[in-house]
Amino acid sequence: KLVCENLKTLVPYESARRLFAASDNTQDEQVPVWLNANESPYANDFAVKSDLFNRYPDCQPSAVINPYAAYAGVNHKQLLVSRGADEGIELLIRAFCTSGQDNILICPPTYGMYAISAETCNIGIHKAPLNTDFSLDLEAIKTFKDKVNLVFICSPNNPTGTSVAAEQIEQVLNHFIDSALVVVDEAYIEFDIDNTWASQLAKYPNLVVLRTLSKAFALAGLRCGFTIANEEVIHTLLKVIAPYPMPEPVAQIAAQALSEKGLLTMQQQVSAIQTEKDLLKKSLVSLGDIKLVGDDNANFILFRTAQKQALMNYLVSHKMFIRDQSKQLNLANCLRITVGSSAQNQQLLGLITSFYQQSG
Ligand code: PMP
């Protein structure tokens, strides 16, 4: 009875962990392989000092803000650190949209949390679906001028792996220059670093860039993300963020990941993943009826197979977890694989090969 009207019908985000939580606890010997959440396969071993835990942490720790600002090539005042990029999405919606009144624009198929965050805040959602080649439909987008406060563009896009052409983003920024913030979600940008927009803040007052340590930095478990924007936008976001969003251990580990050594490790891991991605892609196309879909500018591969459900079931029965994307707009029969370690990718290819052999 007390539930907010907008939450009554809301379907929560199906996180990779939530979907298969039970599979984690089974007693058999088989080790589950998680290739369904675009995480990094590389483990890390950071140390934390616990003698500070009796104190509240710094709200925006300079030991994290300063090295990330240097890494992204922005001023430290143009940066906000939050609990993952997901919290950045929610803060933007809470700070720049009025509940029950305003709208955001999304371009599906794309990352699900823009819509879910909007729904939880009782904000309307307008859609300008991507073209069939997954480029932006600029004509459709432009019709939403003065109807939306935020435009979400994901590049490289999850789950299509496509990067949006610079000229397209430029047109969107210019079209909405006085009326909406354009949020470029760069969660996967380290896999396509030449396409970053972080250096364009001076030119576009309405540009916002989202980043994370969850993907290339191999720290999905840390929950640490960044919002890059002009000072005024950051100032407003600081009004809505929780008083102590960055737990002390998170800040300590993020600072180490952003050290010179940490950055070098990240870059080496990104090139290893790029190499693995190419190998995986080459092998996949020779199997069964697999057709690659979209592009591979991030750390995952999207493909279509008529036997989507049977293949998923087969992989799950072998504790190999990939992501079903078939409910997304125009992605019928599509599955998404996160590039894993060499051993994990081989295991996956072995299973897919035997699936198609068995199914004829
Ligand atoms: N944006 C995109 C496009 C993503 O794919 C994800 C993670 N799946 C996020 C944002 C959220 O990242 P974080 O772990 O930093 O909350």
- pLDDT tens profile 214-248: 999 999 999 999 999 999 999 999 999 999 999 99
pLDDT at 13: 85
* Best of 158, 213, 302 for a ligand 1 pocket test (most atoms within 8 Å of beta carbon): 158
- Ligand 1 geometric centre to CA of 320 (Å): 22
- Atom number of ligand 1 nearest to Cα 89: 10
- Residue 24 reports pLDDT greater than 60: no
* Best of 93, 130, 152, 185 for a ligand 1 pocket test (most atoms within 8 Å of beta carbon): 185
Give the tokens for residue 310: 């049977």
The arithmetic mean of pLDDT across residues 94-99, rounded, is: 98
pLDDT at 28: 65
The residue nearest atom 6 of ligand 1, judged by CA position, is: 187
The arithmetic mean of pLDDT across residues 349-359, rounded, is: 95
305 lines ligand 1 (CB under 6 A): no
- Ligand 1 geometric centre to CA of 210 (Å): 9
Exposed (0-12), middle (13-18) or buried (19+): which is 243, by Cβ within 10 Å? exposed
pLDDT at 12: 86
**Helix/strand/coil (H/E/C) assignment for every residue in the chain:** CCCCHHHCCCCCCCCHHHHHHHHHHCCCCCCCEECCCCCCCCCCCCCCCCCCCCCCCCCCCHHHHHHHHHHHCCCHHHEEEECHHHHHHHHHHHHHCCCCCCEEEECCCCCCHHHHHHHHCCCEEEECCCCCCCCCCHHHHHCCCCCCCEEEEECCCCCCCCCCCHHHHHHHHHHCCCCCEEEEECCCHHHHHHHCCHHHCCCCCCEEEEEECCCCCCCCCCCCEEEEECHHHHHHHHHHCCCCCCCHHHHHHHHHHCCHHHHHHHHHHHHHHHHHHHHHHHHHCCCCCCEEECCCCCCEEEEECCCHHHHHHHHHHCCEECEECCCCCCCCCEEEEECCCHHHHHHHHHHHHHHHHHHC
The arithmetic mean of pLDDT across residues 51-79, rounded, is: 96
pLDDT tens per residue, range 189-203? 999 999 999 999 999
220 lines ligand 1 (CB under 6 A): yes
* Best of 183, 212, 302, 325 for a ligand 1 pocket test (most atoms within 8 Å of beta carbon): 212
86 lines ligand 1 (CB under 6 A): yes
**Separation between Cα atoms, residue 115 and residue 111, nearest integer Å:** 8
The residue nearest atom 1 of ligand 1, judged by CA position, is: 187
pLDDT at 22: 56
161 lines ligand 1 (CB under 6 A): no
pLDDT tens per residue, range 328-344? 999 999 999 999 999 99
181 lines ligand 1 (CB under 6 A): no
Average pLDDT, the chain: 95
- Which pLDDT band, with edges at 50, 70 and 90, does 6 fall under? confident
- Which pLDDT band, with edges at 50, 70 and 90, does 15 fall under? confident
* Best of 86, 90, 160 for a ligand 1 pocket test (most atoms within 8 Å of beta carbon): 86
Percent of the chain with pLDDT over 90: 89
The arithmetic mean of pLDDT across residues 45-58, rounded, is: 92
Domains of the chain: 5-43+262-352 (3.90.1150.10), 62-260 (3.40.640.10)
- Atom number of ligand 1 nearest to Cα 215: 14
pLDDT at 21: 66
- Which pLDDT band, with edges at 50, 70 and 90, does 26 fall under? low
- Residue 25 reports pLDDT greater than 60: no
Exposed (0-12), middle (13-18) or buried (19+): which is 180, by Cβ within 10 Å? buried
158 lines ligand 1 (CB under 6 A): yes
**Separation between Cα atoms, residue 100 and residue 228, nearest integer Å:** 27
pLDDT at 341: 97
The residue nearest atom 5 of ligand 1, judged by CA position, is: 158
- Residue 17 reports pLDDT greater than 90: no
- Ligand 1 geometric centre to CA of 3 (Å): 27
pLDDT at 113: 97
The residue nearest atom 4 of ligand 1, judged by CA position, is: 187
pLDDT at 336: 98
Question: Which residue did the predictor score with more confidence, 182 or 6?
Answer: 182
- Ligand 1 geometric centre to CA of 152 (Å): 13
- Residue 71 reports pLDDT greater than 80: yes
pLDDT at 2: 85
- Which pLDDT band, with edges at 50, 70 and 90, does 27 fall under? low
